[in-house]
Structure 1
């Protein structure tokens, strides 16, 4: 048993590794298609996007070996340390980071840039798993819930300051983990309500939303008063006034924030999404071209390297956040469906393996991994097909970039190591 434990490949779930390899390999083919030029360049070259990505993939192999070298106990014992170091890496950006596209999100190392926010997700998942798996931790206590919220929102807040709203909203994925571990569903319902009220305020305006909500609340309150008599009114009138006050402050605050603090291109994206504005040549150009590119692929696609819109570079930055549009054009409905099914299969496998863990730390980390991957896939694909605003979230294992690939590789293979040791006494 000891000898088997010292073998870094013992107990590995090779089915999960196979899915990972297929996604990465197919992702590289689409990056190659999106960035191929007429000039003949070597595959392993920093002069092309596909060459750099292939180098990133090759470097992911020793990274995987390093992750597997440490046993599961290491990740549980040093989860807090890794989390703190990752926060320091975010703070360091404000001193040593490089500004790209208006955001200070990168460290520049010559030909390679690293985006620490891609790595912090894994270490935040470790920290959340460490906190919730503590035997002395009672998640039903409000003060303990606040501890979990603080761990999640500190990195999200630091990322927002860069500013990088797309990477920051990923941390809402951890609420699925908290709910799975006993957090009341009311928090998620509250979050959904806030999002709906935010969108309604943009769509209808502050005045109409306030009038509509106050009218609905008044009608229901009047009905309840009629049904309950004077006792209801004497006992609950302050709750009704409190609801009025909270909703009024939130709606007015939303209107002020949207009109005065949001930048114009952010407002444009929301208004295009909600149908208030149409701008296929300006801020909505990427989404419009992406939708056209995907729809042009039909059922079976045009074939590898035969997508005229992809080869014509009609979708800006198609090799990064819009890589799904390459799949849609060249591989068609069959290709996009296959990719989605592969992601669903990966998620199912992760959740299945997590549920078999006798160690609570490994189980919670698995839920964190599944939640982050699910959030990334849903938001990225929703963005590319025009159902969600453009927020700059990469498609896991597909989008170009070493930070994205390595970040998801670390996230996945830490779980694979935890799963391989689930039958051992940590």
Structure 2
């Protein structure tokens, strides 16, 4: 049941002011990033800052439209919007224009639209719609499988472009799931897989297997809480390893590869553990053994994915980040120049339009993916702190408003908005300062481009419209 209230009186003006301040700051920094003495006017439509003014104007129109729509329409048409988004992602694979190795753009005259950005809005609506439905129960595995499928389908289509950076953003929905009752142990398992992925890319297979076995032994002790059984498992594994290695190398004259003998010993102990599980009905130990072998198989798949799914430039960027390669004049150039720009800004920065790295175009893509280095160079630590502080305030405000919602749909959607924005900010800033690989993620409200600005505007203002009408929902 609902009752009518004055939307414009109840809309969260604090968040709107934050949005306008950040959009204005983004526009000014785009002006600084691509400033030309021949085109000094910020309103010059021949330059990116002039075009960004048009995108900002269109974004404000989208914001007003979003605030004028009946809140029930967002829930009612959520699946329809999601379906349209999937169709656009399929069409762009056939009809899209290829830019920087990714077929991710529709080109209409001088206008380019990236359906991937709008797919985030559509997926957020669809996830909120499903998890707020009567059939979705947090204690049922089926609920999370279906919710996962809703996320995976657009992510797979985006990966085919390929745009791995945007695929990573979709992982943010796992944090939204956690708020709605997703088992924490599964989320922890996901972080362990991420940890194993990094280890698999950096360390040798033997080292990776040792790490997996250490984690498995710790899990075994937590489940059983019996030191004698843990000691038996460790001693049995060691004996199996040394015996198999000695027989294979000294008697059968096989090559001395410690990894294969440790893998064989792990298999032997796994068989022994399964026999004990059957006899003593130790269900939790079964899951420890099962997940151990799944983890081993997963680390095998990392190299295959790395070699066959990532583009060569993406592989090189990851290898550089992990310290396995060095190419300061090639793949490492963007990040190196970005770090120089940010570092040279000092505490207060060099001043507006005074950035040398910016002025002489040392940093490629500075108005888009690397816009944050313009902030760091010209406004220094203070300016960077203010920008990141604004994002923190915005995210905390969205989370606070989400908890105030009376509607499950609005709450889930709000958390989706916050997690998507958080992922974008974390990845973008992380890659500009060299903590993360360069994967082409725009900084919300700051990076040049209509698609990104429009999508984030829709994402935010749909939530503000839902929040403005939260009192319409009677408890």
Structure 2-normalised TM-score?
A: 0.84
Cα distance, 1:240 vs. partner? 5.9
User: Could you say which structure has the larger radius of gyration?
Assistant: 2
Unmatched tracts of structure 2, length 5 or more: 222-226, 234-272
| Alpha-carbon distance in structure 2 between the residues aligned to 1:267 and 1:333 | 31
Deviations 1:110-157 (A, max 9, x none): 111000111111111111111111133212111111110011111111
From 446, 450, 465, give the equivalent of 1:402.
Answer: 450
Is 70-79 or 297-306 further displaced after alignment? 70-79
Distance 2:20 2:191 in 1: 35
What is the aligned partner in structure 2 of residue 311 from structure 1?
Answer: 359
2:248 is the alignment partner of 1:248: no
Distance 1:268 1:242, change over 3 A: same
Alignment-derived partner of residue 100 in structure 1: 99
1:152-231 equivalences under 5 Å are 152-214=151-213, 217=216, 225=229
Write the distance in 1 (CA, Å) between the matches of 2:11 and 2:218. Answer: 60
Partner SS state of residue 262, structure 1: coil
Change (3 A) 1:226 1:365: closer
* Residue of structure 1 equivalent to 2:471: 423
The alignment yields a C-alpha RMSD, in angstroms, of: 2.4
The answer to whether the Cα contact below 8 Å between 2:31 and 2:42 also exists between their aligned partners in 1 is: no
Q: Is the aligned partner of 1:91 residue 2:90? A: yes
Give the match for residue 128 of structure 2: 129
In the other structure, the counterpart of 1:392 is 440
Distance, in Å, in 1 between the alignment partners of 2:216 and 2:117 is 43
The question of whether the paired residues in 2 share the 8 Å contact of 1:197 and 1:251 is answered with yes
Q: 1:208 and 1:221 mapped to 2: Cα distance?
A: 20
| CA distances 1:154-205 after superposition (whole Å, capped 9, x unpaired) | 1111111110000111111111110000001122212211111111111112
Return the alpha-carbon distance in structure 2 between the equivalents of residues 199 and 326 of structure 1: 30
What are the within-5 Å matches in structure 2 for residues 338-417 of structure 1?
Answer: 338-417=386-465
Residues 10-19 or 209-218, more deviating: 209-218
Q: Any conservation in 1 of the 2:3–2:472 contact (CA below 8 Å)?
A: no
Number of corresponding residues = 424
1:283-308 Cα distance to aligned partner (Å, 9 max, x none): 01101100010000000001000111
Q: Distance in 2 between matches of 1:293 and 1:57?
A: 27
User: 1 CA distance for matches of 2:9 and 2:107?
Assistant: 37
The reply on whether 1:289 has 2:337 as its aligned counterpart is yes
Q: Which residue of 1 aligns with 2:58?
A: 59
Distance 2:323 2:340 in 1: 18
**TM-superposed deviation, 1:339:** 0.5
**Residue-by-residue CA offset, 1:67-100 (whole Å, 9 max, x unaligned):** 1121111111111111111111111112221111
Shift of 1:38: 1.7
Q: For the structure 1 residues 148 and 244, does the alpha-carbon distance in structure 2 shift closer, same or farther, using more than 3 Å as the test?
A: closer
Counterparts of 1:410 and 1:306 in 2: how far apart (Å)? 34
Whether the 8 Å CA contact 1:225–1:232 is kept in 2: the answer is: no
Whether the 8 Å contact between 1:4 and 1:10 is mirrored in structure 2 is no
Decide whether the 8 Å contact of 1:323 with 1:395 is kept in 2: yes
CA contact (8 A) 2:216 2:289 kept: no
Q: Structure 1's 89 and 261: CA in aligned 2 closer, same or farther, altered over 3 A? A: closer
SS of residue matched to 1:9: helix
Flag structure 1 segments of 5+ consecutive residues without an equivalent. none
Question: What's the counterpart of residue 322 of structure 1?
Answer: 370
- How many angstroms does 1:247 deviate by? 2.6
* Comparing 256-265 and 410-419, the one that deviates more: 256-265
CA 162–224 in structure 1, closer or farther in 2 if over 3 Å, else same? farther
Distance 2:10 2:394 in 1: 18
State the shift of 1:261 in Å: 4.3
Contact 1:16 1:349 in 2 (8 A): yes
3-state SS of the aligned residue for 1:193? helix
Determine if contact 2:212/2:296 at 8 Å carries over to the other structure.
no
Give the SS at the match of 2:470: coil
Tell me the CA shift for residue 239 of structure 1: 5.3
From the superposition, tell whether residues 313 and 189 of structure 1 become closer, same or farther in structure 2 (CA, over 3 Å).
Answer: same
**Separation in 2, partners of 1:421, 1:216:** 48
Indicate conservation of the 8 Å contact 2:173/2:420, yes or no: yes
68-77 or 252-261: bigger deviation: 252-261
The 3-state SS of whatever aligns with 1:396 is coil
Give the TM-score, by structure 1 length: 0.93
Is residue 2:124 matched to residue 1:120? Answer: no
For the Cα contact (< 8 Å) 1:287–1:386, is it kept in 2? yes
